[in-house]
Every structure is written in C-alpha cells, then in structure tokens.
C-alpha cells in the first residue's frame, strides 16, 4: 500500500521535497537581492530602478544564451548527475556571495557590488538551464502515464506558487533584522537540502549518455556527434515535429496575450479598479492562490478531458476571463475575477507538460526543453516591452467608447490580449485533436534524419480521452 504521505511514488516525493525547499530559498534570495539593491545599495540614487532591472536582465540573459546549448549536454549526460552538479554549483555560488556579504557595504564600490550580484545571478541561472531540462527528462522515468505526469506538473506548479507566497514575506524580515548574509545563507542551505534529496532518488534514467556528470562509464554504441551537430539535430527534430511546433506556437501566442499583465496590472489596479497602490499586493496573492488551486485541480482535469482538450479549453476560458477582467471597475470584483482567471491558466501550464514529455523521444528531451524554455522566455520579454511601449506612447491618453462602453489604454490592451488568447485556443483546438494514433516518438531516439525519428517527429503523442510566468505564465514545470 502506498504511504499516505507519498506523492505519486517515493522517488518523485523525494525530488519534490528537495525542490520545495529550494524554491522557497530561491524566492527568499530573489526578493532579498531586489530589496537590498533598491533600499540599501542604491538608496536615494536616481539609477536605482536601472540597478534593480539589471537583476532581471542577468537572469534573462542566462536563459536566452545558455539555455539552447544546455539541452545538448543534458541529452548527453546522466540526468540525475546533471541535477546534482547543478545544485552543487549553485550552492557554492551563493555560499561565496554570502561570505563576501559579511563585508560592510562601503567596503567595496557600489559598481563592484552590482557586478558581484549580477555575475552571481547570471551564473545561478546558467546552472539552472542545465537543471530544468534534466529534471524535465527525469520526470519521464520517475512518473508514468499522462494523468500522473499532469498531476506531477500540477504539484510542481502549486509548490512554486506556494514558495512565492511564503518566500517574499520571509525575505524582508531576514534582510532588515538579521542582514543580507543570513538570507543568502538560507538559500545556500536550501540547495544543500535539494542535493541530498536528489541523491536519495533510487531510480536512474535509462536513457542519455552515461558519461556525463555522475558517471564514470565510457560511451557505448555509436559515436557521439559534435556539439554543433547535436545542437542542429535538436533544432531540426523540433522543427520537423508538427506537434511540438504547434505546442510552441500556441504557447508563444498565449504568452503574448497574457504577458501584458506582468507589466500593466499595477496601473490597471490603481486607475481602472480605483484601488490604492498598497493594495496591489492582494492582486498578486489572488493570482498565487488561483495558481495553487488550478495546479491541484489540473491532474483531475487532465484525467477527465485528456491533455489536448484541457489545453485548448483552458486557453479559451482564460482568454474570455481576461477580456472580462479588462472591463472591471471595482477592486473586489477585479481581484475575484483575477483569481478565477489564474485557475485555467495554471491548468494550461500543467496540461502541456505530459504533451511535451510524450512528444519528445528520450534522447531529445533536453534539447526539446532547451528550445521551449528560451523561446517562451523571449516571448514573455517581448510582450512586456511591447505592452509597456503601447501604453506609454501609442495609446497614451487614449479614450474611446463603443456601444456605451468606454475604453482606456490599459484596459484596451488587456481586452485585445484576451482576444489573442482566445485565438490561440482556437488554434490549439484545430492543431491538437482529441485523439491520435500511437506516436513513434519513443522509438525515434536516433538522429532526426533516421526513419524512426521522422515518424515520431510528425506524429502527435497519444493521450487517453477520459498550465510562463500563474503570474509567470507560460512556464512548463
């Protein structure tokens, strides 16, 4: 009998436990750095916003530059060994920054402090580009079946949302009462907990090159191609898979539709919902609770409707709710609707996880996610920049009415964004049918120009017919 405290199975529970602690540590770390840079290092400086934005740019640069190449190595290496090495590297990086942080702030020039912070963030996220695809790949070995895989993705979504509810409130007291170094030390210890949890996993992946981190064996069978060849093979495999391209395209379209929330929702709260700025925190809390609710329900939803239907239904519902949100004028009604909106959005993120796992052959899972992560990240960044530019320039001061309904710049952008999400739902409905033939993808572990891989690349994975940035929409855990 499965123990009551076991999530899906023993190994997945251990993996989840380590990631839960690490996620809280990451939330504390990220919030602490932003607070420290804004309120201590750059206090009363005109360049403070630019300094804070540099933290985001450092993390984004790692995703866009390192992410695509990391997948090649993840596919070569032992997945558990890659995760262990990544956690060890990240723990050491944070530990080194912790040691330096014991120095008084005026012991180093402010530019040097910023360089240390940016470099640490860049290297942390660079290591994370190896960890995330490896974790994605190892889930396919630890968890079987679409329903359980969706459940695992839902648990990961709920854990991430919970971490960002718990972490930030811990960060401020740690920073202002105990000091920067103790908040950093908390994150370093969280990586140690994650390392121990991953090392305790009994099952090892049956795929991938056993010569990477965590293994001493030499490669067997056919010779490995060069890095450039394997990288282009991964791109070619992704491009030839109509199903993977469809998933990526609808994720990008949906990200463009939803990304405006991350940039403009604070202005919508104060101008359209007529709320004081200090109430904006409740907006984030509503989305966090909605994300947890959607994540916990996602496994059951996928079991009932199937992963494909859950995907396009979630997009359609999210788009309609975003349009409805754009017409709100009261704070309580707006917060309630935003909570409801986040539920199907998180179901979408969760439902796409088993589709990606089924569509990617074992030898290509790292490279598949190395394409998916950076492209959706880039779409998120472009969406944030575009929506901010539209609201601040092209639509600045815009007012209009239609059928007695008045429109302003931010609510217009939100309404159009909702319609874009609806269109992506229609596209998903047409591109992701409810049933499909059994895929040959699992057999297509060779190079993309081999017949088996050709068959797998053009076939949608079978899902029985029985969610980025959540406020970070488009992310696939």
Q: For residue 214, give the nearest of 130, 297, 154 by alpha carbon.
A: 130
pLDDT, tens only, 284-329 = 778 778 878 887 787 788 778 887 888 888 889 999 999 999 988 8
User: What percent of the chain has pLDDT above 70?
Assistant: 80
Under CATH, what is the fold of the domain 227-457? Growth Hormone; Chain: A; (1.20.1250)
Q: How far apart are CA 448 and CA 418, in angstroms?
A: 37
Q: How far apart are CA 232 and CA 367, in angstroms?
A: 10
pLDDT, tens only, 395-442 = 776 776 666 567 788 888 888 889 988 988 888 888 875 544 333 333
pLDDT of residue 476: 34
Q: Which class in CATH covers the domain with range 10-199?
A: mainly alpha
* Res. 7: pLDDT tops 80: no
- Tokens for 308, please give them: 């494909």
Average the pLDDT over 140-169 and give the result: 76
Average the pLDDT over 379-407 and give the result: 73
pLDDT of residue 391: 77
- Tokens for 284, please give them: 């984030």
Average the pLDDT over 210-236 and give the result: 58
∠ CA 234-238-243 to the nearest 5 degrees?
155
* Res. 214: pLDDT tops 50: no
pLDDT of residue 404: 59
Average the pLDDT over 42-57 and give the result: 76
Q: What does the H/E/C string look like for 112-173?
A: HHHHHHHHHHHHHHHHHHHHHHHHHHHHHHHCCCHHHHHHHHHHHHHHHHHHHHHHHHHHHH
Torsion of CA 30, 36, 38, 44, to 10 degrees: 180
pLDDT of residue 460: 30
**CB-CB contact of 330 with 192 (8 Å):** no
**Mean pLDDT across the chain:** 76
Residue 98 — very low, low, confident or very high, per pLDDT cuts 50/70/90? very high
pLDDT of residue 28: 84
* Res. 209: pLDDT tops 50: no
Q: How many residues in total does the chain contain? A: 477
pLDDT, tens only, 454-466 = 323 333 332 222 2
pLDDT of residue 88: 95
Q: Residue for token digits 């190896």?
A: 130
pLDDT of residue 189: 93
DSSP state letter for 291 = H
User: What percent of the chain has pLDDT above 90?
Assistant: 14
* Res. 268: pLDDT tops 50: yes
pLDDT of residue 356: 77
Residues spanned by CATH 1.20.1250.20 within the chain? 10-199, 227-457
∠ CA 372-8-368 to the nearest 5 degrees?
15
Average the pLDDT over 58-67 and give the result: 81
Q: For residue 124, give the nearest of 22, 232, 264 by alpha carbon.
A: 22
Between 441 and 71, where is the model more confident? 71
Q: Is the pTM of this model over 0.95?
A: no
Between 202 and 344, where is the model more confident? 344
pLDDT of residue 95: 94
């Amino acid at each position: 009998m499965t123990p009551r405290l076991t999530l899906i199975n023993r190994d997945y529970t251990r993996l989840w436990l380590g990631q839960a602690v690490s996620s809280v540590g990451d939330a504390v770390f990220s919030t602490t750095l932003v607070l420290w840079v804004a309120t201590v290092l750059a206090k009363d400086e005109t360049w403070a916003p630019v300094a804070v934005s540099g933290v985001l740019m450092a993390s984004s640069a790692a995703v866009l530059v390192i992410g695509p190449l990391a997948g090649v190595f993840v596919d070569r290496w032992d997945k558990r060994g890659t995760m262990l090495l990544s956690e060890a590297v990240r723990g050491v990086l944070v530990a080194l920054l912790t040691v330096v942080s014991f120095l008084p702030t005026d012991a180093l020039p402010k530019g040097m402090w910023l360089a240390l912070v940016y470099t640490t963030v860049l290297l942390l996220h660079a290591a994370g580009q190896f960890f995330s695809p490896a974790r994605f790949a190892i889930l396919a070995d630890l968890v079987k079946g679409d329903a359980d895989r969706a459940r695992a993705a839902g648990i990961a979504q709920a854990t991430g949302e919970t971490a960002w509810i718990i972490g930030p409130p811990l960060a401020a007291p740690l920073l202002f009462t105990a000091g920067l170094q103790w908040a950093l030390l908390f994150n370093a210890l969280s990586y140690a907990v994650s390392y121990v949890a991953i090392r305790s996993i009994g099952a090892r992946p049956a795929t991938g090159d056993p010569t990477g981190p965590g293994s001493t064996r030499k490669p067997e069978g056919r010779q490995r191609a060069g890095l450039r060849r394997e990288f282009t093979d991964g791109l070619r495999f992704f491009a030839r898979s109509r199903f993977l391209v469809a998933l990526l395209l609808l994720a990008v379209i949906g990200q463009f539709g939803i990304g405006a929330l991350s940039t403009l929702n604070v202005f919508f709260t104060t101008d359209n919902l007529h709320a004081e700025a200090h109430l904006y925190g409740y907006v984030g809390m509503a989305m966090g609770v909605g994300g947890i609710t959607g994540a916990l329900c996602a496994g059951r939803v996928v079991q009932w409707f199937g992963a494909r239907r859950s995907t396009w239904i979630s997009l359609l519902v999210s788009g309609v709710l975003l349009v409805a949100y754009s017409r709100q004028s009261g704070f309580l009604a707006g917060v309630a609707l935003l909570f409801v909106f986040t539920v199907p959005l998180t179901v979408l993120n969760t439902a796409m996880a088993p589709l990606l796992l089924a569509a990617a052959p074992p030898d290509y899972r790292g490279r598949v996610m190395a394409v998916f992560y950076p492209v959706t990240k880039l779409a998120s960044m472009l969406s944030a920049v575009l929506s901010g530019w539209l609201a601040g320039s092209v639509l600045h001061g815009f007012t209009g009415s239609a059928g007695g309904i008045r429109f302003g710049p931010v609510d217009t952008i939100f309404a159009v964004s909702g319609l874009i999400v609806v269109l992506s739902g229609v596209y998903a409905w047409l591109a992701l049918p409810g049933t499909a033939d059994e895929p040959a993808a699992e057999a297509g572990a060779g190079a993309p120009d081999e017949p088996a891989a050709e068959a797998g690349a053009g076939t949608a994975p079978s899902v029985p017919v029985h969610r980025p940035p959540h406020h970070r929409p488009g992310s696939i855990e």
